Structure 1
Amino acid sequence: MAKSAHAPAALKKGQGMRMRERAWWPWAMRALKLAFFVGVSWLIVSHARTIDWQEVFGTLKERSLLALWPAIVLALASHALYGCFDLLGRYLVGHALRVRQVIAVTMVSYAFNLNLGSLVGGVAFRYRLYSRLGLDAGTITRVVATSMATNWLGYLLLAGALFWFHPLALPPSWKIDMAQLHLLGIPLIATVLGYLVLCAARGGRSLSLRGHEVSLPSLRFGLLQLLMSCANWLLMGVTVWLLLQQKIAYVDVLSVLLLAAIAGVITHVPAGLGVIEAVFVALLAHRLPASELLAGLLLYRTFYYFVPLGLATIAYLFMEAKWRRQSQHQSQHHMDSPSSA
């Protein structure tokens, strides 16, 4: 009897200890994010003060519009390719929306995602647009999860390969051991390989992850995700490389772009505003004047962020107006039908 009486107390004590053990982790992550945000903010402010902005705008005026067309075409190609990411989710889930509807929703959401953040653009807009087209929340969640996984698979592989095979030459003033950056490539590549192994071993079946059931695709599907994502990140890199007038090696431009992308995600700055520019200036200003770097990056932000946002806004308003007319027509038809009378 004494043993059974003490059992609930011991159980509660054990649960309390586990809860206390878990409690430190969210706070540690918040502290790391805050430290990273402060560091990037300091980077932005410190470099912004040293920039001769008149020289930047003067460099912009010297750029030929005709020479910018290849970069504009590649930026549009990248958006179009990302627009196909949700087609993977369509195939995996098996919903019946038409291909052009899926691509339209994805491209609109992607433009808002780039400029307003993933929660607003990548998630909220997808839920609103897909729900208007008749998809339920569970189906939308699986489509969004597939698209996000696709995007970051390619990122992990490219970042890991660049760190391992071609680590970026940091500015001389940065006291960081290149071997440390070199070793960062191992866990990134291992994550991608682990995903592909799981797809090969358990493709078509579910995997329990912390109480959540995750459906794994086939190996062929996983490789397609990887191919599409890598192609998209490579297109983005080529776009920046062309706008920097090919004065820096492409692999170095791609490396810095990948670093800037993750910095923008961690700091939660909408559109990575100032983050991308600060990272490029911090890492490459010893190889190219800051005015030329910023001129190219401002063009990149215009063609890859702002112009698609303007087009996406027009498309979104058109969709909303179309659905509103359809809703009014259906309501009027219901009122005029004999059954309603």
Structure 2
Amino acid sequence: MTISRGHTAPSPDAAAGHAAVGPSSWRAAWWPRIRRWAVPALGVLVFGLLVSHAHKVDWSGAWQSLQRTPLPVLAAVLGLSVASHALYGSFDLLGRRHTRHGLPVWRTWAIAVASYAFNLNLGSLVGGVALRARLYARAGLDEATVAQVVGMSMATNWLGYGVLAGALFAAGVIEPPQQARIGEHGFRLLGAAMLGLAAAYLVACRACQGRSWRLRGRPLRLPSARTAMLQMALSAANWALMGLAMSLLLGDKVGYGTALGVLMAAAVVGVVTPIPAGLGVLEAVYLGLLSGTLGQGRVMGAVLAYRALYYLLPLGWGLVLYALLERHASVHPAAETSDAGGTPPA
């Protein structure tokens, strides 16, 4: 008598067990732990590097430069910082108009401004993405709508950057910092590529008008060419305000175009060196490009004042806005509002 030993199909529980130990499940289980330790480790590494180079900086000269800065100049820079942060809030209003979600204008603007303050000081993943996603989710927006709003805000920011920086780099207004390891010719090509990408975005928005794709069951479409031009104009104005603030702090010896160009170069280095608040990036780039003209003390004084007035002080009102938004969300829990309508299409 022959006994047949066939293969029995695995039970659903067994199949689920095998699936649970797959690569995606492993990443889901271990990535939060890795991230929890990697971020502090990076912070310690950066802090150690800053400490090791701190003795090379003329800190006494920097403090004297801060003391010599007239109060009207500091007040003007603070006003420009407030205007810049307020203008950044309009980026999410463009996303509101494009996605037609039903959140009030004031709440959308407040979420953007609070997130921007955290973004500058804690990095884009914390402020630009995580915090903004939480506040929008608490307000009742679904994931697909939040992704479109966040993506459009980021695109707006870098479109204006591409237009201004592309023009400055391509024209050779500013030489690249040594830290970027890119020659002058490469910097000019980078500027031309930025202008080309901005132009390609406009063409794509024009060509794809009326077309849509699906993202998790939600329609996804490019904005109109008119909205794309508004994105570039608002963002370019925002970067211009930042450059003007830095130009006032640096004084008459550095022209506005040079001050703006150095700020753009620092932003490039900051992107490829993802350190929260660009810690040490602004200082390194400005010292490398302008210390020969103004001296370390003057440059460090201007950068420290800029960091205090554009980064640190706005974090205070960002914390206040965040607390108010969280309180409002707790008192007024909202249902999903992504399809509430009432807003004209982009």
Q: Give TM class, smaller chain.
A: 0.7 to 0.9
Matches of 1:201 and 1:175 in 2, distance apart? 37
1:255 aligns with 2:261: yes
Letter in 1 for 2:83: A
Partner of 1:12: none
Matches of 2:297 and 2:329 in 1, distance apart? 46
Matches within 5 A, 1:309-320: 309-320=315-326
Partner of 2:12: none
Matches of 1:184 and 1:161 in 2, distance apart? 10
Matches within 5 A, 1:104-253: 104-169=110-175, 177-206=183-212, 215-253=221-259
Residues 252 and 208 of structure 1, relative CA distance in 2, 3 Å threshold: farther
Deviation (angstroms), 1:61: 1.7
SS in 2 for 1:84: helix
Q: Does the aligned pair in 1 maintain the 2:61–2:296 contact within 8 Å?
A: no
Letter in 2 for 1:110: Y
Q: Does the aligned pair in 1 maintain the 2:173–2:257 contact within 8 Å?
A: no
Residues 232 and 143 of structure 1, relative CA distance in 2, 3 Å threshold: same
Matches of 1:218 and 1:161 in 2, distance apart? 24
Matches of 2:183 and 2:131 in 1, distance apart? 42
Q: Does the aligned pair in 2 maintain the 1:167–1:178 contact within 8 Å?
A: no
**Which of 67, 72, 76 is the aligned partner of 1:61?**
67
Residues 175 and 260 of structure 1, relative CA distance in 2, 3 Å threshold: closer
Deviation (angstroms), 1:160: 1.1
- Give the paired residue count: 287
Matches of 1:44 and 1:281 in 2, distance apart? 14
Deviation (angstroms), 1:64: 2.3
Deviation (angstroms), 1:197: 0.8
Letter in 2 for 1:109: S
SS in 2 for 1:83: helix
Matches of 1:132 and 1:69 in 2, distance apart? 36
The structure, 1 or 2, with the larger RCO (C-alpha pairs under 8 Å, 6+ apart) is: 2
Q: Does the aligned pair in 1 maintain the 2:283–2:300 contact within 8 Å?
A: yes
Describe the superposition over 1:223-265 as per-residue Cα deviations: whole angstroms up to 9, x where unpaired: 0111011111111100111111232011111111111112112
Deviation (angstroms), 1:135: 0.9
Letter in 1 for 2:250: L
Partner of 2:96: 90
Question: Root-mean-square deviation (CA), in Å?
Answer: 2.8
Residues 234 and 144 of structure 1, relative CA distance in 2, 3 Å threshold: same
Matches of 2:127 and 2:301 in 1, distance apart? 27
Deviation (angstroms), 1:66: 2.5
Deviation (angstroms), 1:169: 4.2
Deviation (angstroms), 1:171: 8.3
Deviation (angstroms), 1:283: 1.1
Residues 313 and 127 of structure 1, relative CA distance in 2, 3 Å threshold: same
Describe the superposition over 1:166-197 as per-residue Cα deviations: whole angstroms up to 9, x where unpaired: 3314689x997533322322211111111111
Q: Does the aligned pair in 2 maintain the 1:115–1:305 contact within 8 Å?
A: yes
Matches of 1:171 and 1:319 in 2, distance apart? 40
Deviation (angstroms), 1:213: 8.4
Matches of 2:65 and 2:136 in 1, distance apart? 43
Partner of 1:271: 277
Residues 192 and 41 of structure 1, relative CA distance in 2, 3 Å threshold: farther
Residues 161 and 296 of structure 1, relative CA distance in 2, 3 Å threshold: same
Q: Give the gaps of 5 or more residues in structure 2.
A: 1-45, 334-346
Partner of 2:313: 307
Deviation (angstroms), 1:291: 0.6
Deviation (angstroms), 1:46: 8.0
Matches of 1:115 and 1:175 in 2, distance apart? 26
Q: Does the aligned pair in 2 maintain the 1:55–1:291 contact within 8 Å?
A: yes
TM-score for both structures, normalised by structure 1: 0.77
1:52 aligns with 2:52: no
Q: Does the aligned pair in 1 maintain the 2:95–2:153 contact within 8 Å?
A: yes
Describe the superposition over 1:70-129 as per-residue Cα deviations: whole angstroms up to 9, x where unpaired: 111111100000011001100110011111111101000000011111111011111111
